[in-house]
Structure 1
Amino acid sequence: MQRLGMPDGFVSDASDVAGSKLCWIERPGVNYGTVPLLLVPGLGMTFRAYSWLVPMLSPERRVLIVDPPGCGDSAELADSMSADAQARHLLKWLRSTGIERADVVGHSMGAMTAARFAAAAPDVVGKLVLLSPSPDGRWPELKQHMWALARGVFREAPRTLVQATRDYVTADPSVMTGFSDELGRSAQAVLAGVQASVTVARGKNDRVVSEQWCRALADAVGASMRTVPRAGHGLPQQCPREVAALIRDA
C-alpha cells in the first residue's frame, strides 16, 4: 500500500492493536542480522517527519516509522493518550510483528513515548535516542510551551513548518490531551526504569526544549548529550545527516 509522501523503498501497513488501528511504514534491511530501528514522530506528526532522515540511514537496517496514536492514519486510544499509554500500545504492536530487539528513536513528544517504551520493555530496547525531548519538564503550564513553540518558529527550516502544519491539521485533538498529561514530569520520572543505552540530542537554536532540560535527562541515566549547531527543534527535518550520524554512533 502506498501513501502520499512515503520515502522510496518503504511499504505501508496497518494492524488492529487492542481494538485501535495502528499504521506504520517500513523498509526491509539488506542485512537481516542487524537490529531493527523504530522511529517515533513527535506531537501530531506522522512518518513524514522522518522523510529527510531515512535516506541517510544505513540500508542494512530494517526501519519502521509509526504514525503515533491519533496521528496520520492511526486511531486515537480510547482510555489515555499519555506517553505511557502510547508506549504500551506500541509495545503490543511491535511484539505482534515478531521483532524481539530494536533500537528506538523518538523526536519531541515522541521522545517521551520512546523513553516510556524503553522502560516498559528493557528486554527489547538496546539503544534509545531522544531528539529534542518535549515537553520540557521545567515548564508545568501548557501556555509556556505554546509560547516557546511560537518563539522558535523562525528558527525552523521552511520544510519543517510545511510538513508539521500538514500533519497537525489532520491529527486528532486528543494528542494535546496526551501532551498535557506529560507537563511538569521530571527528568527522573521520564527515564525511570530505562536500562537502554541513551543519547539525548538538542538543536543549539531550539526554543522549545532547553539545554538545562536535556542535560537533566542525560544526567538522570548517565547518558551523553549532543548539541547540533545551527538547528532548531525539528532536528530530523532540519539536520537529517547529523541525526543519522547520532543514531549510527549511539
Structure 2
Amino acid sequence: MSRPDRFEIEAAGHLGHVFVSKAPGGLEPPRPPIVLVHGIGVSHRYLRRLHGLLAETVDTYSIDLPGFGTTPRPENTLSVADHATYILGALEQLGVLEFVLVGHSMGAQFAVETALQQPGRVPQLVLMGPVTDPQRRTVLQQALALGRDCLFHESFSSNALVLTDYLRCGPGWYLKTLRVMMDYPIEKRIAGVSVPVLVLRGASDPVASTDWCRRLAGRAARASLVEIEGSGHVVQHNGAAEVARVILDSARDEAAAA
C-alpha cells in the first residue's frame, strides 16, 4: 500500500490529522468507508497495519485526534463528546458523510459518542478492546491490567509503538485525558446506540476481558462479540489480518442487510 495522504484539519476549534487511503479503482469497495480512531496516549501509527489491509478493498481513514500524535495540544481538556464532534466535523470537511467507525480502547468511547451525536452518519460501530469496565474503574486496576498486557501478550513492535507515542503525548495531556476516560460511562451510553455494534477483543486481552465485553455487548440494542486468538489489547496490530477480515465481513453483512 502507498503511504496515506495526510490532511491537517481544524474542526470544532481544534486541529487534528486525518490519514486517507483510497481503495484501488475497479474493485467496487463496500460503502461506506471505514474510519479508524486510536485510544488514549497513542496515534494512528498502531493502526497502520489494519489501515493498510482495509485499504486494499475499501476507502480507509485514520484520525489523530487533537492533542495526540504530532497534533498541537488544546488549551483545555477535551471531553469524549468534544472528540466525537471533531471526528464528525473533520470527516464532513473531507466529504465523508457516512462511515463505519472503528475505535480502539478509549477510541471505543469516542466511537459510541460519535454515533450518539449523529446516528444517521454511522451505520455500524466496531469497538476493539473497549474501556472502561465499571467493575475495574480505578487507575491502579487499569494500570496493572495494561502492565500485564505489555509484559505477556504484546509483541516488541506493538510495545514500541505504544511507548513512543506515550512519550510524544507527554504525561500532562495523558493524565488529563485519563480522567476523562475513567469517568465516561460507556456501559450506559451504548444503550442509546441504535446501529449494529461489533465488539472485538484479543482473546488474551487483560484490559478488555471476555466478561466485560459480553456485558457491554449486552447493553447495546444489537451487538455481537468476536475474539481474536493469540492477541492481547493491541489486537489490531498483532492480529491485523484476522481483524481486517472480521471487520470487512461484518461491514458487508450489515450493508447487505440494510
Structure-2-length-normalised TM-score: 0.87
Pick one of 22, 42, 46 that aligns with 1:28: 22
Aligned to 2:163: 165
Contact 1:126–1:196 (CA<8 Å) still a contact in 2?
Answer: yes
Segments ≥4 residues shifted beyond 6 Å: none
Aligned to 1:197: 196
1:97 aligns with 2:94: yes
1:15 aligns with 2:12: no
RMSD, matched Cα? 1.9
Aligned to 1:50: 47
Q: Which moved more, 1:174-183 or 1:134-143?
A: 174-183
Aligned to 1:231: 231
Q: Which moved more, 1:174-183 or 1:20-29?
A: 174-183
User: Which structure has greater helix proportion?
Assistant: 2
Aligned to 1:175: 174
Gaps of 5+ in 1: 1-6
In 1, Cα distance between equivalents of 2:204 and 2:87: 31
In 1, Cα distance between equivalents of 2:30 and 2:245: 20
Aligned residues: 244
In 1, Cα distance between equivalents of 2:207 and 2:181: 15
In 1, Cα distance between equivalents of 2:2 and 2:164: 20
In 2, Cα distance between equivalents of 1:137 and 1:74: 31
In 1, Cα distance between equivalents of 2:194 and 2:54: 24
**Shift, 1:33, TM fit:** 7.0
In 1, Cα distance between equivalents of 2:176 and 2:143: 14
Contact 1:108–1:132 (CA<8 Å) still a contact in 2?
Answer: yes
Contact 1:187–1:213 (CA<8 Å) still a contact in 2?
Answer: no
Structure-1-length-normalised TM-score: 0.90
**Shift, 1:60, TM fit:** 3.5
Gaps of 5+ in 2: 251-258
Aligned to 1:3: none
In 2, Cα distance between equivalents of 1:68 and 1:187: 19
In the superposition, relative to structure 1, how do residues 188 and 135 fare at CA in structure 2: closer, same or farther (>3 Å)? closer
In 1, Cα distance between equivalents of 2:30 and 2:243: 23
Percent identity of paired positions between Structure 1 and Structure 2 = 27
